[in-house]
Structure 1
Amino acid sequence: MAHAQLIPTVGGPEQAGLLYFCTTRAGGVSQGERESLNLGLNTGDDPQRVQANRQRMVDFLGVEPIWLAQVHGTDVLDADQDLLPAEPRQFDAAVTTRSDRTLAILTADCLPVVIWDEQARVVGVAHAGWRGLQAGVLERTWQAMVRRCPQAGSWQAWIGPAISQKHFEVGQEVFDVYVRAEPELATFFNAGKHPGKWQADLPAIARHRLEQLSPGAMKVHLSGLCTFEDDARFYSYRRSPQTGRQVTIARLAHR
């Protein structure tokens, strides 16, 4: 934990048996618009600086996280299986019941979502932009968790720092693809400043969808933190495409 004091994080309600948090921009070595703890390799940053930042995360955690090559899809990695170090992992979510597995999701406006059962026997993380959210990445993540832990009866989720409705303008096609399939989702869109534009509330849509998965047995926590507004703490692709990535980490405690 040599760099623990150098890496500020934000998180949700405490859960016995579970560690989870999202990093901020602070605590790394990247420079310029990607200053300082940029953890994304495909961001145009100096790869050596990103690797140095990732090593700081390893020092902070005491273990190497399972990094994913995120593609805005819905595939879920079963992190309980044995994984080769150099294995390509094109997934946008991961689940585990093992305490020696540390899950990681990179974001810069998209939703980082952590899901767990209230006995902390299984945990999942998901990267949900508007495409993945609409296509069902949260549903597929939770279904994979239920298969791993069918005895779980109560669930919680945390939606970490992401772009807020005020700053997330989308076109008519995004509104249509959501509302055509689920008319009730129209309440999560406000008319934009320009014709054919809408302000989409992705965190609220995610909360709604999560609550539908296990009615009465899924408690969802919103961080309420906007990556676009808080330039001092978070990377935001909408604010500047020349940006970095923060990471959301989740790990079950040793039992």
Structure 2
Amino acid sequence: MPEPIPELLIPVWPAPAAVHAVISTRVGGVSLPPFDSLNLADHVGDDPAAVAENRKRLEVVARLPATPIWLNQVHGTRVLDCAGSVTSREADASVTSQPGQVCVVMTADCLPVLFCNRAGSRVAAVHAGWRGLADGVIEAALAGFEGPADQLLAWLGPAIGPDAFEVGPEVRERFLQDDPQAASAFHPGRPGHWLADIYRLARLRLERAGVGFIGGGDYCTVTDIKRFFSYRRDGVTGRMASLIWIE
């Protein structure tokens, strides 16, 4: 029986030819339930040997030029410049202008956002849960690019969908404090709760910053059980990876 091959998503966006990006699914690895099967996280309780094998398979199938610079994500706003001196990997975004360096974030409901400039000389990967999004992780990543924002491209990867992301009123109020237009991303759910559209919340911030192209945002990690891990759905589960690099 042939070994499973990782199934990858490729962003559909007008990125320069030198920029490459892929997003893993849960399909094509060796991890056993509840991490089945392409879990790429080493902090969720999975067998370390299985995680190592999954990462190895991802590198081969995605034709990565180097081992990704894996982060210790903490739902914050720190952006790691991979081309500099890496003293700590505690960050929720990474950016580089160095060809061959692979920026990566892991998610299982939170929103991954990939960035590049039209010149193809700088890329970034961002982990945007609702806390990081509200605190400005997208804006922090954008600050790592030079030049006008209309020369930047953003792609929104697989995240919890607008019909599955139930939050309390405090989450809605947190976003409305920064931008009254954020009200359009919330709809009433069960009593005392709201359904939040994290894609809409991210787009509002990207549009306000003047980002020239915004794509993606067509997935739901909770309802697409076969393709995606979901912490909200399963609790104990694996993580997907969103990766970007310059050739």
Asked if TM exceeds 0.5, the reply is: yes
The answer on 1:203 being equivalent to 2:199 is yes
* Aligned mates of 1:13, 1:57 — CA distance in 2: 20
Indicate conservation of the 8 Å contact 1:115/1:158, yes or no: yes
Question: In structure 2, what is the equivalent of residue 171 of structure 1?
Answer: 168
Indicate conservation of the 8 Å contact 2:150/2:212, yes or no: no
Instruction: Give the 3-state SS of the residue equivalent to 1:106 in structure 2.
Output: strand
Question: In structure 2, what is the equivalent of residue 52 of structure 1?
Answer: 53
Instruction: Give the 3-state SS of the residue equivalent to 2:21 in structure 1.
Output: strand
Q: Of the candidates 220, 234, 240, which is equivalent to residue 240 of structure 1?
A: 234
For residues 24-51 of structure 1, the C-alpha deviation after alignment (integer angstroms, 9 at most, x for no partner) is 1111110112101100111111112111
Q: Of the candidates 61, 66, 70, which is equivalent to residue 67 of structure 1?
A: 70
Indicate conservation of the 8 Å contact 2:149/2:212, yes or no: no
Indicate conservation of the 8 Å contact 1:95/1:123, yes or no: yes
Q: CA deviation at 1:57?
A: 2.2
Q: CA deviation at 1:21?
A: 1.5
Task: Calculate the aligned-residue CA RMSD, in Å.
Answer: 1.6
Q: CA deviation at 1:180?
A: 2.2
Structure 1 gap ranges (5+) = none
* Aligned mates of 1:100, 1:116 — CA distance in 2: 14
For residues 155-201 of structure 1, the C-alpha deviation after alignment (integer angstroms, 9 at most, x for no partner) is 110000000010000001101111122111101100012x2200000
Indicate conservation of the 8 Å contact 1:77/1:91, yes or no: yes
Instruction: Give the 3-state SS of the residue equivalent to 1:212 in structure 2.
Output: helix
Amino acid at match of 1:73: G
Instruction: Give the 3-state SS of the residue equivalent to 1:64 in structure 2.
Output: coil
Structure 2 gap ranges (5+) = none
**CA 1:204–1:247 in 2, change beyond 3 Å: closer, same or farther?**
same
Instruction: Identify the range of structure 1 (71-80 vs 114-123) with the bigger mean alpha-carbon deviation.
Output: 114-123
* Aligned mates of 2:91, 2:135 — CA distance in 1: 14
What fraction of aligned residue pairs are identical, expressed as a percent? Answer: 39
Instruction: Identify the range of structure 1 (46-55 vs 225-234) with the bigger mean alpha-carbon deviation.
Output: 46-55
* Aligned mates of 2:22, 2:174 — CA distance in 1: 31
Indicate conservation of the 8 Å contact 1:12/1:223, yes or no: no
For residues 127-166 of structure 1, the C-alpha deviation after alignment (integer angstroms, 9 at most, x for no partner) is 00000000000000011122xxx37751110000000010
* Aligned mates of 2:149, 2:121 — CA distance in 1: 8
* Aligned mates of 1:132, 1:79 — CA distance in 2: 20
Indicate conservation of the 8 Å contact 1:124/1:145, yes or no: no
Question: In structure 1, what is the equivalent of residue 92 of structure 2?
Answer: 92
**CA 1:186–1:126 in 2, change beyond 3 Å: closer, same or farther?**
same
Instruction: Give the 3-state SS of the residue equivalent to 1:199 in structure 2.
Output: strand
* Aligned mates of 2:75, 2:194 — CA distance in 1: 21
TM-score normalised by the chain length of structure 1? 0.90
TM-score normalised by the chain length of structure 2? 0.93
Question: In structure 2, what is the equivalent of residue 218 of structure 1?
Answer: 212
For residues 5-33 of structure 1, the C-alpha deviation after alignment (integer angstroms, 9 at most, x for no partner) is 81211122252211112101111110112
Instruction: Identify the range of structure 1 (117-126 vs 49-58) with the bigger mean alpha-carbon deviation.
Output: 49-58
Q: CA deviation at 1:82?
A: 4.0
Q: How many residues align?
A: 241
For residues 184-241 of structure 1, the C-alpha deviation after alignment (integer angstroms, 9 at most, x for no partner) is 1101100012x22000000111011011112xx5210024011101110000000001
Indicate conservation of the 8 Å contact 2:65/2:100, yes or no: no
